Structure 1
């Protein structure tokens, strides 16, 4: 007899377990609903939100881990919604009983008694608030607790909770009402967002600010009574203004964000190398510059900033204003293939120096020359006879550059550009011919700027690194350190638009090696500059391809180049290049630039 009760208890427990398993199998938890579609997001190098997109179901729902939330928010929600959250198994019978008594006394539903876990269950399977629905919520809560730990359940709640309209999850709510990341919320912000999910349609602050304020203050009063917040904290939070309108979701770096979403469509979170501050500054300067260009019949410009040392993209702006539909602002001018004009000339000179064909003082022929039916001309229509390579590059003369391309032969500019990651050369080399060095091909601003970043690294080419989780890679030296040094020594002497006569004597001005380009017909203007720290590229023109007399690299693009350079951190502190071991001095003939012969 004495063993009868233990046996009965064991049998009952086994039956209950079997029933629970059978019920769980018959009514499985819809786990997929716990992970609804999230808003794709693009982040800067520090994890700050640059741009968010609507989720597939039309909601703003920004996924957040629990450790990415304000501690005040987590503390207030648990203390207000479910004080015993970390102690109960998903259902709190005492809370349900208390709610039943309160509802009977009031003659209507004034309290639900739901735990946070039960609220998660209701969020994935919304039903009218009936006794049967409450039982289903309790059952689902037990299923959830069996599959997830408490921190995971809290995370589910914060990503599912409604915040009014199409705002789902506290990540979207924090940005929409306070313009903040959820980790930056203060006590007053957290109190409002903790109260809002109880009745989001009636207390959303952008439509019902008074009701939202009352809900927040009620929460603060209750939590002060429970000792969760002090009286001064509650009073200070209650005095904060309630946001009366929604803040637009972040849309910085829109061109870069759209490009990366197209490039990596399977990724919901894109952590980039972009620097939010540099991006913002570049966009602001570009906007002002484009406004000035439009007074001269030039509609658009684009800019990129690359960290010369790492090859990381820091900023990319493809037009003066992404949202300016009248000027086709959503076209990404940083990636559009355009004629580079003279911007490729430095690489021909570098290849010639590496092949031993010339040095900076070698005299190059600048006279009328015919290559079959092709006869290049200089920009100004003049010829100078014998010109030192240094001056030919500084003056951007066409004839000497074409002459060097001819001497380089088949292993010249075209295969070099392919090795350097230029993707816009889609035709055979024979289709481009010698005029390639004068802009008879197409490049885009990002890839052209990366060519100059290669010069900034002493000739080492690397692909542009855009995602923060991409592996860091080194690459081959496509140009020798000696030739890269000599090019920098030449290009730093170009006359700058910001300080045309005395930039070397200016204080706190960055030293920059730079080059411009102007395409045939004045359709494109380029300016790319670099030092050890930064590489900046600018393009200006019309997306229609129409030319304009003032579309000249030194006038339409260079001023923005130096405006951006002057704002970059550490740009003026970057040490200039020292001669590498492979760059040595020797005696030369003052007329030909060739090595001096015997006396």
Structure 2
């Protein structure tokens, strides 16, 4: 009687009404991932954002990208005659009908194709009471229609993408990542058996799933380890479901994917994004003991304004360090000197006064200090900017005008400087205003483009016209200064992270109390900006521009130019280069760039420029430590003065000789008084300092 059931079932199926089924292309087009996907400039997935909170679906996975072990486990668990039947396994259906009729045991006979029919058509899905006889026949009929129009590979691919596995995890992509943290292509035999065992009972307890998976795995491979499967089940069910995407640019995804289509192409470069993120995180780990916990970086394409890397922070924080406002430090100085050169007030060879300065303000006297709290005397514009001297920059702001400089920064796109110029005061020369890393990067991009300014973008766009904001000639000169490792050696030395093997222009900056550290610079094609510090505003410990953000900047620049070098820009029309000397010889003769008509073969400090005599080093209340590793008789401290022509040194009442040049003194432990005296034995300037320690024998 059991054999008679099969012909009867075939007859019933032949009489069933055919249902319209979608094509494979229609089924895939109707599929929606639960995450919107951010693509890089080349179409590579770079980040995803959850948009459907009812379930978790990864992007559609092709059958070729699913582990063969998973395909074997699926057929063994759900439909062993999958490759032989035409959608309905008549033999299995007959056995199930006979067993259910005699109530010997409940048996299912739903093939993979029949299950897919129900996944594609809500009308065929079982209710809490199960399927009606009509639904069962319609499901069988739809399965035969699917087999008539789909290949077996297409049926298996669609089934694995649509079937629920456990909880919110639907489809093989979400299940593989959510339970095992890997792509479907990497599933091994044990993991495949576990997933296949979930299909009939997605909510089964771990113990039951492990038992079923063990039986299934041994059917496939008798040598399978049940103990290993039990461990895999326990580990898989105890971990939170992971996102189908990679966490490389979450802040960019939040901006571009909300309310967007399934996929959005960005201007980011996935390879560069990963490298920049890794470099920042590794360097932050090295700086952790100096109380540096966070950082951010951005890379711009100079020509297009496209953002090719955007690392909002160096950890799991949701703060966007690329847009957060921080004190800019010395990174604003290039724009101040460019403004003064553009106006014709100075040249790159002009002498700048690095001596004590006090400015009366409504809030009291403002007394700027250099980073090392020492003064260098007269230095050229080139040296002052490249070595980031503070006092000459404040004097330059007095010359250029606070309102004029503030307006220039705003024209460069620093809209965050929204307060009136008076709010910032003369400390604006030293970066007291709050700006974002992105604003600062785009301002430097303007220098890189010879003074042409344009907006930046995270999405591909048509070429954009740029607006001239800075003079091309003086922008070139500022870039030449920022690329001059000799000019910056006064502060930074010749060997540091700013000196690349290719042409680049770069500036560092540190805000008040070491709360922010910046490094911003550009090459022929790219502008790279890096910030490190703490999002809570706490100060770093002993972190300079060269040790803080600069190593990350250098790593990213080296990566960008690993195959293509960066060439120095060509000088624009209207510039001349000639040798310039100094009288007195504050700096050695050198070739210098000038705007045509401002060139000079010699810069002379005229009498009107002479200033009052002052001791530059050692400063008042300085403490000098004797180096015990230097043999006795070799260590020297050099006294330096300004305006000392015709004056003499006197130390602790003992005359040392003329003060027209520095005096090298062998330090002696104790307290000392150093004075400048004139020809009439009158003390013109004096300072007290202390020497600690003892010399080696």
TM-score (structure 2 length as normaliser): 0.63
Separation in 1, partners of 2:329, 2:61: 49
Of 372, 377, 380 in structure 2, the residue corresponding to residue 388 of structure 1 is: 380
1:486 correspondence with 2:477: yes
Structure 2 unaligned runs (5+)? 1-14, 22-26, 101-105, 585-591, 593-597, 603-697
The residue number in structure 2 matching 1:334 is 322
Of 56, 60, 65 in structure 2, the residue corresponding to residue 64 of structure 1 is: 60
What displacement does 1:526 show?
1.4
> CA 1:551–1:575 in structure 2 vs 1: closer, same or farther (change >3 Å)?
closer
Counting only pairs closer than 5 Å after superposition, residues 245-256 of structure 1 correspond to structure 2 as 245-246=235-236, 249=242, 254=247, 256=249
Counting only pairs closer than 5 Å after superposition, residues 241-390 of structure 1 correspond to structure 2 as 245-246=235-236, 249=242, 254=247, 256-262=249-255, 264-267=257-260, 268-308=262-302, 310-322=304-316, 329-367=317-355, 368=357, 370=359, 375=366, 377-379=368-370, 380-390=372-382
The residue number in structure 2 matching 1:116 is 116
Please state whether the residue corresponding to 1:521 is helix, strand or coil. helix
The residue number in structure 2 matching 1:6 is none
Separation in 2, partners of 1:253, 1:529: 29
1:161 correspondence with 2:163: yes
Structure having the larger proportion of residues in helix: 1
What displacement does 1:99 show?
4.6
1:522 correspondence with 2:514: yes
What does the per-residue CA deviation read over 1:198-237, in whole Å, with 9 as the maximum and x for residues that have no partner?
A: 436289999946745765797xx8xxxxxxxxxxxx99x9
Separation in 1, partners of 2:538, 2:562: 35
Larger Cα-atom Rg:
2
Please state whether the residue corresponding to 1:40 is helix, strand or coil. strand
Of 596, 599, 609 in structure 2, the residue corresponding to residue 595 of structure 1 is: 599
Structure 1 unaligned runs (5+)? 1-15, 25-30, 222-233, 323-328
Separation in 2, partners of 1:263, 1:103: 52
Separation in 1, partners of 2:437, 2:374: 30
TM-score (structure 1 length as normaliser): 0.71
Tell me if structure 2 keeps the 8 A contact 1:60–1:166. yes
Instruction: Calculate the aligned-residue CA RMSD, in Å.
Output: 5.2
What displacement does 1:37 show?
6.9
Please state whether the residue corresponding to 2:549 is helix, strand or coil. helix
The residue number in structure 2 matching 1:475 is 466
What displacement does 1:377 show?
1.8
What displacement does 1:391 show?
0.7
Of 546, 553, 557 in structure 2, the residue corresponding to residue 554 of structure 1 is: 546
Tell me if structure 1 keeps the 8 A contact 2:165–2:199. no
**Whose RCO is larger (CA < 8 A, sep 6+)?**
1
Number of positions where the alignment pairs a residue of Structure 1 with one of Structure 2? 545
Separation in 1, partners of 2:57, 2:522: 40
The residue number in structure 2 matching 1:10 is none
Of 458, 463, 469 in structure 1, the residue corresponding to residue 455 of structure 2 is: 463
Structure having the larger proportion of residues in strand: 2
What does the per-residue CA deviation read over 1:400-432, in whole Å, with 9 as the maximum and x for residues that have no partner?
A: 323444444577443333343334223334433
> CA 1:386–1:277 in structure 2 vs 1: closer, same or farther (change >3 Å)?
same
Separation in 2, partners of 1:418, 1:68: 54
What displacement does 1:476 show?
2.8
Separation in 1, partners of 2:421, 2:413: 16
> CA 1:78–1:370 in structure 2 vs 1: closer, same or farther (change >3 Å)?
same
Tell me if structure 2 keeps the 8 A contact 1:255–1:318. no
